[in-house]
Amino acid sequence: MKIWTKLTKGHIKSRLLIGLSIISILFVFVTQLQFLNPFVSSWDQVDFSLAVHRFDLMAMQPHFPGYPFFILGGKFIHLFVANLSEALTVFNILFYASTLFPIYKVCRAFLSRSYSSLTTAIIYSSSYCLIMVNQPMSEGSALSAFWWYVWSLLFALKTKNTRAILLPLVLLSLMLGIRLSYFPFLIGILFLYYWKVKHGGLSIKQLIYYSCWGVFFQAIWITALVISEGSLMGFIKLSLAFTSGHFNDWGGSIETSHISFVKRLIIFIGDNIFWTGMATKYFMIAGIYLICFFIVLSRVFVKQRDQSPFMRLLYLMFISYFGWALLGQNIDKARHALPLVSLLILFLCIQLFKNRVTLLILTLSGFILGLQVYYDVILISEQATESPAVYKMNDFVESMGQPVILYTWEETRVLQYLNAPYTHKRIETYQLFQIDSKYYENSTLLLTDKVVEGFISQGASLKGKIEKVKTFQSNELFEPVYHDITLYKWVGK
Query: Whole-angstrom Cα distance, residue 259 to residue 242?
Result: 23
Written as tens digits, the pLDDT of the chain (493 aa) is: 455 455 566 677 788 999 999 999 999 999 999 999 999 999 999 999 999 999 988 888 888 888 999 999 999 999 999 999 999 999 999 999 999 999 999 999 999 999 999 999 999 999 999 999 999 999 999 999 999 999 999 999 999 888 999 999 999 999 999 999 999 999 999 999 999 998 877 899 999 999 999 999 999 999 998 888 777 787 888 778 777 655 555 455 555 567 888 999 999 999 999 999 999 999 999 999 999 999 998 876 555 555 789 999 999 999 999 999 999 888 889 999 999 999 999 999 999 998 888 899 999 999 999 999 999 999 999 999 999 999 999 999 999 988 899 999 999 999 999 999 999 999 989 999 999 988 888 889 999 999 999 999 998 888 889 999 999 999 999 999 899 999 999 997 6
Burial 381-390 (b: 16+ CB within 10 A, else e): ebbbeeebbb
- Asked whether the beta carbons of 52 and 74 are under 8 A apart, the reply is yes
* Sequential DSSP letters for 284-307: HHHHHHHHHHHHHHHHHTTSPPP-
How far is it, in rounded angstroms, from Cα 273 to Cα 424? 36
Radius of gyration of the chain (CA): 25
* DSSP symbol at 56: B
Phi-psi region for residue 356, left (φ > 0), alpha (ψ -120 to 50) or beta?
A: beta
pLDDT digit string, tens, across residues 217-252 = 999 999 998 888 777 787 888 778 777 655 555 455
Per-residue pLDDT reduced to its tens digit, 354-370: 888 889 999 999 999 99
Give CA separation, 483 vs 32, 225, 477, in Å.
22, 33, 8
* Spatial strand order in the sheet of 484-490: 423-426, 404-408, 444-448, 484-490, 466-473
As a residue count, the chain comes to 493
Cβ pair 168, 188 in contact under 8 A: yes
pLDDT digits (tens, 9 = 90+) for 380-403: 999 999 999 999 999 999 999 888
d(CA 284, CA 277) in angstroms, rounded, equals 14
Cα–Cα distance measured from residue 350 to residue 67, given in angstroms and rounded to the nearest whole number: 33
The whole-model pTM stands at 0.93
Looking at residue 302, what is its pLDDT?
56
